[in-house]
A = this chain, B = another copy of it.
Amino acid sequence: MDIKIIKTTQPKEKQAAEKLAFGVTFSDHMFVMDYTEGQGWHDPVIMPYGPIQLMPSSMVLHYAQEVFEGLKAYKTPQGEVQLFRPEENFKRMNRSNERMCIPQLDEEFVMNALKTLVKMDQDWIPTSPGTSLYIRPFIFATDPFIGVRVSQTYKFMIIMSPVGSYYKGGLAPCRIYVEDEYARTVRGGTGEAKCGGNYAGGLAAQEKVHVKGYEQILWLDGEKRQYIEEVGTSNVFFLIDGVFVTPSLEGTILSGITRKSVIELLKSWGETVVERRITIDEFYELHQQGKIQEAFATGTAAVISPIGTLGWQDKEMTFNNGEIGEYTQKIYDTLYGVQSGHIKDTLNWIVRV
């Protein structure tokens, strides 16, 4: 299948690096491909970024049959363009597709499409510290039909946005609140899939903690409201008495690519990482004993977010005196260093474009 290429005749002006926000401006081109039952994925095209037409009856607008991914492209100091573990994104997208009854992608084909698109828009990759080109592959159901069933047509798109730091002001410890009213998901739900519904469902809790003076939520499991699962839209790690602990993937937690990379990185340093279930009661007890040394969240958008304070009911736990932990900083520096080409990629994470 050849990718048709339609180049823009009106290249847009690029924003200055210091003005870049997250996910607001988009590069000149996008990739689009359609799926029709019986025909498979067809008509791949790279075309100027712009609006799409949808029928108001399109299933995505009613039943949210949709999945997405997020990854980043960087330009190295030598001017080479590189992606961070992109094959992991397409693998995960296919797992999300399976849960959401969306047809599988040919991972090799979309990887090639992604590289072609990034190459075309490589001038859009910002190079100032902390910046990157955020890449958003996504799929949504397009059947113009309002009965509840699996769609027979889909659109797969890749759009790209030059971004500054996810959190304005750069790496800084954030305040997180343990959510005990709302639930993100439950065993047998869609928690493991990167689908829209998980994110829409979490907005109310996010709004609630903002009002309380916190930036994000720490989600507990939906069943017992005890086991620590995720922080907002990120995975979470704790350094407990010299050992790194992160919640094990039990089907309700997103299998983060940054999570996986942090585990590999720590092991390569000879550190001990334990993936296990951990309750908020146990965590509080450990904090009382002074054993929680560092806490941080991991995700593609922010890479690493140090957690300074964790609110739970009427209590507040502070880690490392509310400052960025030594390991937290080192993990961020290393990951971002490898991603941006400032540090050697010893773990084979980088794919050159």
Contact = CB atoms under 8 A, between A and B. Distances in A.
A98 B182 CA distance: 13
Contacts of A196: 60-64, 196-197, 200
Given A23-B145, A66-B62, A198-B197, A204 B56 contact: no
A206 B161 contact: no
Contact of A223 (B24, B64, B186): B186
Number of copies: 2
Interface in A40-88: 49-57, 60-66, 68
A76 B303 CA distance: 61
B148 A199 contact: yes
Interface in A1-53: 22-24, 26, 30, 49-53
Contacts of A274: none
Interface stretch (A121-129, A187-195, A242-250, A259-267): A187-195
A75 to B, nearest CB: 21
B197 A200 contact: yes
Interface string A201-235: 11110110000000000000011000000001100
A283 to B, nearest CB: 20
A217 to B, nearest CB: 11
A104 to B, nearest CB: 14
A60 B61 contact: yes
29 contacts: A23-B146, A23-B147, A26-B57, A49-B56, A51-B55, A51-B56, A52-B53, A52-B56, A56-B157, A57-B136, A57-B159, A61-B66, A61-B196, A62-B66, A64-B64, A64-B196, A100-B201, A146-B161, A148-B199, A148-B203, A149-B206, A182-B189, A183-B187, A188-B222, A189-B201, A190-B197, A196-B200, A222-B222, A222-B223
A-B complex: 6 closest residue pairs judged by Cβ atoms: A197-B197, A64-B196, A183-B188, A23-B146, A64-B64, A186-B186
